[in-house]
Amino acid sequence: MKALQAHPDIHAPAGPVCLVILDGVGLGPADDGNAWHLAQTPVLDALFAGPVSGSLRAHGVAVGMPSDKDMGNSEVGHNALGAGRVFDQGAKLVEDGVTNGSLVAGETWGWIIEAAKAGGTLHLIGLFSDGNVHSHLDHAYALMNDALGKGVARVRIHPLLDGRDVGERSALTYLEPLEAWLAEQRAAGHDVDVASGGGRMHVTMDRYEADWRVVERGWRAHVLGDARRFGSATEAVRTFRDEDPEVTDQYLPPFVVADASGPTGVIEDGDAVVLFNFRGDRAIEITRAFETPAGDSFAFERERVPKVRFAGMMQYDGDLQLPRRYLVSPPVIERTVGELLAAAGKRQLAISETQKFGHVTYFYNGNRSEPFSAELERYVEVPSDPVDFAERPWMKAAEVVDRAIAELDAFKPAFVRMNLANGDMVGHTGVLRSAVMAMEALDLSLGRFLDAVSDRGGVAIVTADHGNCEEMFIKDKRGAFVLNEGGGRVPKTSHTLNPVPCAIVGADGLRWSAPTDAGIANLGATALVLLGFEPPADYLPAVVRPA
């Protein structure tokens, strides 16, 4: 690894350079669903109206997601912030896993296969098309082929029909070859079949908790075998189309494939289930249905929660650890900001409350848990309260800042990375009033920290990893709030596609010079520049330069 070189024009400040990550605080329209807009936030308002400030991309390809339809998340966001570059996520990683064999060589796939070979059934659920936005059918075939090759006796697939990322009535284009392939496998002695399915907008793939009935329909079909029965998936599609010539694939009703003995593949205790979608937004709710323990309160009555081994193609929500097991690991990232600074002999402080502790350590360091230098790095976790954050929207912002200020003097770090989790964790609750209070608590604590940094001659980069609390209600394509049956606004509990703010505080003699397509990955180089170093040549350019 090449050592960092001194920057020719910019010198490190007398105090620390601090990266302050306001988790889940994006830039959205100033409307009645924007918690930041509704909150009293004098510090933030002044900060982002300052001379060295702008906006950065924090979703889609700017953070390595398959497309700009994909919202950012805390894991890929902190990867980007720490790496200074963009690494492939999602579709590209899975495709590479298929090509090089790693998709079916990992510990989680072995864990799935173990259950299926011990007498259980392997179930694959996912969007079955080649749209490559949420999934790709080639990935499902790769898993089935490997499972059969390893001796799994019984496989069932639950195809969700697309009609959105592909032709609106193209389902048979995918189902007919699938059924032909399954017939070939049965002729070779394998017990394989389609078990259930339905259109993606009507079955299983709800998002943003817009309509849990969509997930309930999928649960009843996939798990309970409770839906209209047909002899095959193609028969189901043809029948639905005959009955309603206007229906498109994405809105097809749920169906169950059955024979004289009943459904071909309900999900039972001891089975293994893989959700082969790689994109998270429409995978989170069905994942929650499988991973929420029986007896716990849930959004609908599940009736029966089978004890299965469940895995996702990817981890769909790192904040909530959904799912707990997944097939494709995060990218391998080398020469992160933390690694380079440790090699340069610089002290570093990483601090957050529990909810985001792994993000300022593991994810920021390129998916590495341990410090690069135990002597030069200090990781501080402030324990989060095990409560509903809608009831404690201030969370531990004050305590995190208290400890961070104390460490500025006790440890004297050259570089600090601090995450304040309020915007994201309270935004996830969908409770607007709480999110407004979260932003006000965040603003108060941030102001204290910035004053402390200034008093010590330091510089602060204030930004976010993705949006969330600036969009607390679901909107339609026109930007209008979606209303429920009672006329109320539908809460949004997910991340957003919005850009995030960025401001540099204490950067005398510098000006904002971000490229037009700059994203949060550009802040890796920015941190190094502010510390007086020339960034590596392959880092994305810094967002500041001498005035």
| Catalytic site positions | 74
Do you find a cis peptide bond into 323, omega within 30 degrees of 0?
yes
Which pair of tokens denotes residue 168? 């609106």
- Distance between the two ends of the chain, CA-based, in angstroms? 31
The helix-helix angle for 137-149 and 107-117 (nearest 10°) equals 60
Calculate the CA 477 to chain-centre distance. 22
At 192 the three-state DSSP class reads strand
Cβ atoms 466, 73 nearer than 8 A = yes
Run of H or E residues at 400: helix 397-410
Calculate the CA 114 to chain-centre distance. 28
Parallel, antiparallel or unpaired: strands 415-420 and 17-22 = parallel
Angle (nearest 5°) at CA 225 between 221 and 226: 70
* Residue 546 CB burial class (10 angstroms; 0-12, 13-18, ≥19): exposed
CA–CA gap between residue 66 and residue 56 (Å, rounded): 18
Cβ atoms 142, 133 nearer than 8 A = no
The residue whose two tokens read 């570093």 is 348
* Strand ranges (E), 364-486: 377-382, 415-420, 459-463
Q: Tell me the C-alpha to C-alpha distance, in Å, between residue 312 and each of 97, 133, 211, 336.
A: 14, 16, 22, 27
What length is written for the chain? 547
Run of H or E residues at 546: strand 544-546
CA–CA gap between residue 241 and residue 391 (Å, rounded): 48
Give the residue among 148, 164, 168, 165 at the shortest CA–CA distance from 156.
148
DSSP assignment letter at 466: S
